[in-house]
C-alpha cells in the first residue's frame, strides 16, 4: 500500500489555509496546517511532509527564509510558494533556493492540484532514485550470492520460499558466512524490493542512541535533540529492516521491538504519537540466542517472535564444495577492480584453498583472494600467492568435519560432545581416564556414547 502523501499548508491568513487544507483532505491527502513561519517549520520537522505549500509574505519568518530552512533540513521535501505579490524576481530567487513551483494568489484550485501532483511525483522519483543508487553502490547484490553445495542450495530454497511473505526471519551463522548478503537477497526476492532496505548495526551503537536511531525522536527528547527525526523503522516503511547483531540489544530496546512485532506500532523517543509502519524485520546474529535466552539476557517472548523462520547459514568448512565457485567469483571481481589480467587459479592452489579451515568463512576467503590478485604478476594464481595458508594442512576427515565445533554460536550439547570425544581420543578410548579428566562419571560417558552412536556421530569402531 502506498502511504498517503503528506502536505503542510502554511499561510498567515487562517481562512485561506483552512480552505486549502479542507480541499486537500477531500482529495485524500494527509494534511497539517500552520499560520506562521516558525510553527510551519516545526510542522515540517514533526510531520515529515512530502510537500510544503507556503505563503511568501508572513510576519516573523517569510516564505523564502522558510524555504531555505526546509531545504537545508529536509532536502527531499518539495516546497511550493504562494503569493499575492508575485514578481519575476522573487520567483527566480525562490526557484534558485529550491522551490518546486510558484502559485499566484488567490490560488486557482485546479492549478494547485496539478502543481501538487507534479511535486509529489518528483519527490517519489527522487526517493526511488536514491534507493536505487544506494543499492547499486552497495556491494551486496542478489547475483553476488554464490553457492552450489547441497547445504547452500537448501538455504537458497528456503530463502525463495519465505521471501514473498512478511514474516520475520532470523539468520544465524558464524561471522563471515554471508548473513548480510542473504538479508539483502531476501529483500530483493520479496515484493518489497522497490522499497528501502535499511540496515542497522545494533552492536555499533550505545543503548540510548540505538533506541532513537531505530524509533526516531521528537524535538527536545534529550539534550542535543534539536530537531525531530524519523527513525530507521519509518525510513524502512514498505521495505525491509535488517537488524544486525540482534543478540546485543539492551532490555529497553528489546521491549520496544517486541511491541512492534506484536502490534506493528511504536512511539518516537520523547513522543506520544503512535507511529504505524509496514516493515519486514530480518535479524542476524553470530551469537547463540537460545543460550542468551537461557541466561536471561535476551527475552524469550522476543526470541520466539523473531524466530518465525530460522535460516542457518553453514560455515565454509562444512561446505568446501562452494570454494571453487567462490574463488572464481572473487578472482573475477578483484581482477576487474584492479585492472589485472588474471585468468584463474592453478589446481594445486585451489586444493590449498579447499584444505584450509577458514575460521573467518567467506569473508576470509575473499580477503585472501583479493590480496593474491593485488600482489600477483602472473595470469594464474599459484600456492605462492597464498603465503598465509598452511600448505601442510591435512584435508579434514569427513566425520571430524561434520563433527567440528566452533565455540561462538555452538550449542552446549555440541561443545559437550566435542569435549567428550576429544578426551576419549586422547585417552586412547579409556572411559575411566576420560571420566576422571572431565570430572564426570564413567557411566555418563557410556550413556553419551550410546546417544552419539544412535545419532551416527561415532561408530563403535572409532573409539
Ligand atoms: N555465498 C556468497 N557468495 C558470494 N559472496 C559471499 C557469499 N557469502 C559471503 N560472501 C561475501 O563475504 C563477505 C562477508 O559476508 P557478510 O558480511 O554477509 O557476512 P556476515 O555473516 O554478515 O558476517 P558478520 O557476522 O561478521 O557480520 C562479504 O563480502 C560477502 O559479499
Ligand atoms: Mg554481518
Give the integer Cα–Cα distance in Å for 412 and 416.
Answer: 6
The ligand placed nearest to the CA atom of residue 174 is 1
Number of neighbours of residue 233 by Cβ within 10 angstroms: 24
Let me know: does 417 contact 409? Beta carbons within 8 Å: no
Could you tell me which of 275, 170, 270, 180 has the C-alpha nearest to residue 232?
275
Residues 310-342 pLDDT 10s: 999 999 999 988 999 899 999 999 999 999 999
Band of residue 1 on the pLDDT scale cut at 50, 70, 90: very low
Mean pLDDT of all residues in 84-104 = 80
Residues with Cβ within 8 Å of residue 230, at least 6 apart in sequence: 48, 216, 268
Number of the ligand 1 atom closest to the C-alpha atom of 173: 21
Band of residue 463 on the pLDDT scale cut at 50, 70, 90: very low
- Residue 57: pLDDT over 90: no
Residue 3: the pLDDT is 67
Number of the ligand 1 atom closest to the C-alpha atom of 179: 21
Number of neighbours of residue 359 by Cβ within 10 angstroms: 13
Report CA(19)–ligand 1 centroid distance (Å). Answer: 55
The ligand placed nearest to the CA atom of residue 177 is 1
**87-97 exposure pattern, b = at least 16 Cβ within 10 A, e = fewer:** eeebbeebeeb
The percent of residues in the chain predicted with pLDDT above 70, rounded, is 90
Give the integer Cα–Cα distance in Å for 63 and 57.
Answer: 6
Let me know: does 261 contact 218? Beta carbons within 8 Å: no
Please give the helix or strand (H or E) that residue 281 lies within, else none.
strand 280-285
Could you tell me which of 76, 114, 82, 130 has the C-alpha nearest to residue 98?
76
* Cα distance from N-terminal residue to C-terminal residue, the chain: 62
Task: Report the nearest-CA residue for atom 16 of ligand 1.
Answer: 178
140, 178, 187, 330, best to mutate for ligand 1 pocket (most atoms within 8 Å of CB): 178
Residues 199-213 pLDDT 10s: 999 988 888 889 999
The ligand placed nearest to the CA atom of residue 179 is 1
Number of neighbours of residue 356 by Cβ within 10 angstroms: 22
Task: Indicate the DSSP class of residue 217.
Answer: B
- Looking at per-residue pLDDT, the higher value among 139 and 161 belongs to 161
Mean pLDDT of all residues in 181-208 = 91
> Which pTM value belongs to this model?
0.59
Report CA(231)–ligand 2 centroid distance (Å). Answer: 21
All structural domains of the chain, each given as residue ranges with its CATH number in brackets, are 6-134 (3.40.50.2300), 142-312 (3.40.50.300), 316-385 (1.10.8.60), 411-462 (1.10.10)
Residues 431-442 pLDDT 10s: 888 888 888 888
Amino acid at each position: 500500500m502506498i502511504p498517503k502523501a503528506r502536505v503542510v499548508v502554511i499561510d498567515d491568513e487562517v481562512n485561506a489555509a483552512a480552505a486549502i487544507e479542507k480541499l486537500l483532505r477531500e482529495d485524500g491527502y494527509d494534511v497539517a496546517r500552520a499560520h506562521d513561519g516558525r510553527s510551519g517549520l516545526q510542522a515540517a520537522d514533526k510531520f515529515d511532509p512530502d510537500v510544503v505549500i507556503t505563503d511568501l509574505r508572513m510576519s516573523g519568518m517569510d516564505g523564502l527564509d522558510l524555504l531555505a530552512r526546509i531545504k537545508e533540513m529536509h532536502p527531499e521535501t518539495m516546497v511550493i510558494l504562494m503569493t499575492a505579490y508575485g514578481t519575476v524576481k522573487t520567483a527566480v530567487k525562490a526557484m534558485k533556493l529550491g522551490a518546486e513551483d510558484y502559485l499566484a494568489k488567490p490560488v486557482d484550485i485546479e492549478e494547485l492540484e496539478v502543481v501538487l501532483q507534479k511535486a509529489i511525483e518528483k519527490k517519489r522519483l527522487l526517493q526511488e532514485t536514491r534507493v536505487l543508487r544506494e543499492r547499486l553502490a552497495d556491494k551486496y547484490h542478489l547475483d553476488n550470492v554464490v553457492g552450489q553445495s547441497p547445504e547452500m542450495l537448501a538455504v537458497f530454497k528456503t530463502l525463495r520460499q519465505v521471501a514473498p511473505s512478511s514474516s520475520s526471519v532470523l539468520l544465524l551463522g558464524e561471522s563471515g558466512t554471508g548473513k548480510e548478503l542473504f538479508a539483502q537477497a531476501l529483500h530483493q526476492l520479496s515484493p518489497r524490493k522497490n522499497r528501502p532496505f535499511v540496515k542497522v548495526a545494533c552492536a555499533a551503537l550505545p543503548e540510548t542512541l540505538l533506541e532513537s536511531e531505530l524509533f526516531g525522536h521528537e524535538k527536545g527528547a534529550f539534550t542535543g535533540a534539536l530537531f525531530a527525526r524519523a527513525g530507521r523503522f519509518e525510513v524502512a516503511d514498505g521495505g525491509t529492516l535488517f537488524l544486525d547483531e540482534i543478540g546485543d540489544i539492551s532490555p529497553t530496546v528489546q521491549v520496544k521491538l517486541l511491541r512492534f512485532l506484536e502490534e506493528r506500532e511504536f512511539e518516537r523517543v520523547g513522543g506520544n504519537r503512535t507511529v504505524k509502519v509496514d516493515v519486514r524485520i530480518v535479524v542476524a546474529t553470530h551469537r547463540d540466542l537460545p543460550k542468551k535466552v537461557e541466561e536471561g539476557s535476551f527475552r524469550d517472548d522476543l526470541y520466539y517472535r523473531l524466530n518465525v523462520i530460522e535460516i542457518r547459514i553453514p560455515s565454509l568448512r562444512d561446505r568446501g564444495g562452494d570454494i571453487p565457485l567462490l574463488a572464481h567469483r572473487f578472482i573475477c571481481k578483484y581482477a576487474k577492480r584492479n585492472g589485472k589480467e588474471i585468468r584463474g587459479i592453478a589446481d594445486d592452489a585451489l586444493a590449498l584453498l579447499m584444505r584450509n579451515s577458514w575460521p573467518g568463512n567467506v569473508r576470509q576467503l575473499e580477503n585472501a583472494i583479493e590480496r593474491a590478485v593485488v600482489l600477483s604478476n602472473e595470469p594464474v594464481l599459484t600456492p605462492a600467492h597464498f603465503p598465509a595458508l598452511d600448505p601442510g594442512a591435512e584435508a579434514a576427515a569427513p566425520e571430524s568435519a561434520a563433527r567440528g565445533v566452533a565455540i561462538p554460536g555452538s550449542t552446549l550439547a555440541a561443545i559437550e560432545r566435542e569435549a567428550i570425544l576429544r578426551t576419549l581420543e586422547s585417552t586412547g578410548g579409556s572411559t575411566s581416564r576420560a571420566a576422571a579428566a572431565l570430572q564426570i562419571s564413567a557411566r555418563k560417558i557410556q550413556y553419551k556414547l550410546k546417544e552419539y552412536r544412535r545419532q551416527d556421530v561415532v561408530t563403535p569402531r572409532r573409539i
